[in-house]
Amino acid sequence: MELQCPMPKFDFDVITLGHGSGGILTHQLLNSGVFALLANPLLDEKHDGAVFEANGKIAFSADSYVVSPIFFPGGNIGELAINGTVNDLAMCGAAAKYLSLSFIIEEGLPMTDFWKILNSIQQAASDANVHIVTGDTKVVEKGKGDGIFINTSGIGFLHPEASIHVSNIKKGDKIIISGNIASHGVAIMSLRQGLEFESDIISDTANLNHTVIALLDKFGQQIHFLRDPTRGGVATVLNEIAKDSNTGVNILQNKLPVDEGVSSACEILGLDPLYVANEGIFIAIVAVDVADDFVTALKQLPFGANATTIGEITDQHPKQVILKSSIGGSRVVSMLPGEQLPRIC
Amino acid sequence: MKYLEEYRDAGVAEQYLAEIKKIVTKKWTIMEICGGQTHSLVKNGLLTLLPENIQMVHGPGCPVCVTPLNLIDKAVYLAEEKKVILCSFGDMIRVPGSKQSLLEAKANGADVRILYSPLEAVKIAEQNPDKEVVFFAVGFETTAPANALSVLHAQRAGITNYSILTSHVLVPPAMEAIISDEDNVVQGFLAAGHVCAIMGLEEYYPLVEKYTLPMVVTGFEPVDLLQGILMLVKQLENGVAKLENQYARVVPENGNPSARKIIADVFEVSNREWRGIGEISLSGYELRKEFAAYDANKKFNVQIEAATESKECIAGDILRGIKKPHQCPQFGKKCNPLHPLGAPMVSSEGACAAYFHFSQAEYAEA
């Protein structure tokens, strides 16, 4: 059973334009709903912004969430919005601490849906040990949004040993992936109109900060680079790495971890899992000397059970990603010109 | 995955490759008909593994590539001007028409939807009785049964706001057009496995006999393709020309009789324009007269002036195997997947896009 705070009694069943007006409805919504659920000393100040002490290096990141449908197998837009920004900060080597949370809601969103999303936000924030300290709510007319859009930005404190930068990537480094690929994108796709299919596939949405910080504690500067392969999937991130670091990337097709159901769905839908979105895994480029220990350690950490080495950095073919196919052929893995489109037959 | 991994087995692939290398003594030019086969050859890096003596050229079996420009313009017109809900298979929507693609029309506010099955479009028609729903029914014999079935379903359910914009093309007439062309370079065919899974083999025997050209009906996985190539090379080296079936686990001699019946009930064979190739007689399907109410062309009486193709695009030569994508002066220059000059650069089944995405390295260095 899903744990959820009972919804307080509101005078309204759906969000209306008035909830974004700043007037009584806005206050009703915030005071009896949002503030109560997400309470913490900084948010409770109800100031125009949050004021706090910060020492040392901080990382700052922002992201918007427009996923459709807003509820999907394994999660909803709320936890996605928290985990996404927490993970972006983790990829910088920072432990997320404070988040802003802004809603753009299409009028007509049922309060029960909004409450469910808020609960997921609260749960995800608590799991990631972050506080939502400021935010905003706007409502747009029916037809001008897609239920709800969420924007979060976050501040995190950099791990003292973190030195994560493309310029650290060098020949011989190993490329490690923390878990199975393509689950999120396929879970979303399974609900899209016209593509509906029954499956047990769920989104991999998860916070990666605790795992990444534990790895930084252990491996510090031997971790040369981190990135989470969200939009565009693993192929896109590897291309970014190759181009930005001016190195070549070699990967092995038969090392790519894909859940069997996801792999079957991709076959049927005509999609390449390398380009499908993920929300709970990361790619790490680490020094060759520690690569095996890194994988062993990662396997013991949350969301790391399927971690594996998928390839290495080379000085051959700079700026290009080359995949060795399972049968021994090789090919370039390029960036897609746009969205991956299903084929005719 | 069971029944798939077996056909991607590195050990088996290696054995076939070794056998091909052992028996090949001359240069042979082989055409794989289907875009799915082209895609698999490049995606699995097979072209980098085959001996130099075997030259693979890529056939016209990319439905997106051969759909006439004029028809894409019609689809865009129906979506934009007639405000229909235009439903299409995914990779069709990025193909440039003379002015814009369906994707651009969608960005401009037209209701364009990507579906996996035309039966979904019938459902959409049922749910939107005040709107006209048109399915862009492109494809070879493989997609024809589902498209035909959608018309039958609509008819049975009394749905009158559904129609299809047909551009069905047929493989055997295209193969004959290629073989009989005076510039033909193809010495043997890997016939399209899934087309034969529907239609069976009977149409292919006369072609093999008339042109003394070997053919092997072939699947799509790496091991299928290598086995198909091996079977074909054996025939070529031994001076034999017969029809063989590598893909027997999917392709029965008679194809799929129920699917063929549905096709025959709903469609009739007609002349058809192939983008990049021109008109080929009796090479397509159109709806039979009794289904005229479901024919978007007739229903909306769409009259669109024929647009001219880019002169710089050599898609016609590519689709007939006369040239390879990287031999086009515009390949990767003026023409790339972001700004395609022709359809083969758009669809993932198109030879140009397959080369661009998967084997750029090899050709950038060449």
Instruction: Quickly state the pLDDT bin for B359 (edges 50, 70, 90).
Output: low
Q: Which fold has domain B65-170+255-299?
A: Rossmann fold (3.40.50)
What SS3 state is found at B333? coil
Q: Which residues of A touch B359 (CB under 8 A)?
A: 331-332
Q: Which of B88, B92, B114 to mutate to test the interface with A (most CBs of A within 10 A)?
A: B114
Query: Could you tell me if B154 lies within 8 Å of chain A, comparing CB atoms?
Result: no
> What CATH code is assigned to A17-158?
3.30.1330.10
Residue B129 pLDDT > 80? yes
What single-letter amino acid sits at A252?
A: L
Q: Mean pLDDT score of chain A, rounded to an integer?
A: 93
Percent of the residues in chain A that have a pLDDT greater than 70, as a whole number: 97
Cα of B55 to nearest chain A Cα, Å: 16
Nearest-CA distance B85 → chain A (Å): 13
Q: How far apart are CA B32 and CA A316, in angstroms?
A: 32
CB pair distance less than 8 Å for B194 and A345: yes
Name which of A25, A27, A3 is nearest A14 in CA terms.
Answer: A25
Q: Give the pLDDT confidence of B48-68 residue by residue, as tens digits.
A: 899 999 999 999 998 888 898
Q: Does B224 touch chain A (CB under 8 A)?
A: no
ipTM for the complex? 0.83
Per-residue pLDDT tens digits for A262-305: 999 998 888 899 999 999 999 999 999 999 999 999 999 999 99
What CATH superfamily is the domain A166-333? PurM-like C-terminal domain (3.90.650.10)
Query: Where exactly does CATH 3.40.50.11750 map onto chain B?
Result: 30-61+172-245
Pull the structure tokens for residue A147.
Answer: 């239920």
pLDDT digits (tens, 9 = 90+) for A74-113: 999 999 999 999 999 999 999 999 999 999 999 999 999 9
CATH 3.30.930.10 at B30-61+172-245, yes or no:
no
Q: Rounded to whole angstroms, how far apart are CA atoms B215 and B32?
A: 10
SS3 A337: coil
Beta strand spans in chain B (E)? 28-34, 54-61, 85-88, 112-114, 133-139, 162-169, 188-192, 215-218, 243-245, 267-274, 278-287
**Amino acid present at B143:** T
- Say which of A194, A260, A328 has its CB closest to residue B10: A328
pLDDT at B340: 84
Q: Which amino acid is at A114?
A: F
Instruction: Return the ∠ at Cα B225 (arms to B221 and B226), rounded to 5°.
Output: 120
Residue-level pLDDT at B64: 85
- Write down the domain spans for chain A: 17-158, 166-333
On average, the pLDDT of chain B sits at 92
> Around Cβ B334, how many Cβ atoms within 10 Å?
14
The secondary structure of A189-203 as a DSSP string is HTTSTTT--------
Closest CA to B304 of B52, B97, B88, B66: B97
pLDDT classification of B364: cutoffs 50, 70, 90: very low
> Where along chain B do the CATH 3.40.50.11740 domains lie?
65-170+255-299
Q: Is B134 exposed, middle or buried, given 0-12, 13-18 or 19+ CB atoms closer than 10 A?
A: buried
Question: How far is residue A35 from each of residues A29, A96, A131, measured CA to CA in Å?
Answer: 9, 20, 12
pTM (two decimals): 0.89
Task: Give the integer Cα–Cα distance in Å for B190 and B59.
Answer: 9
Confidence class for position A184, pLDDT limits 50, 70, 90: very high
Per-residue model confidence as pLDDT tens digits over B64-95: 888 988 999 999 999 999 999 999 998 889 88
Q: Are B295 and B164 in contact (CB under 8 A)?
A: yes
Q: Is B45's CB within 8 Å of A324's CB?
A: yes
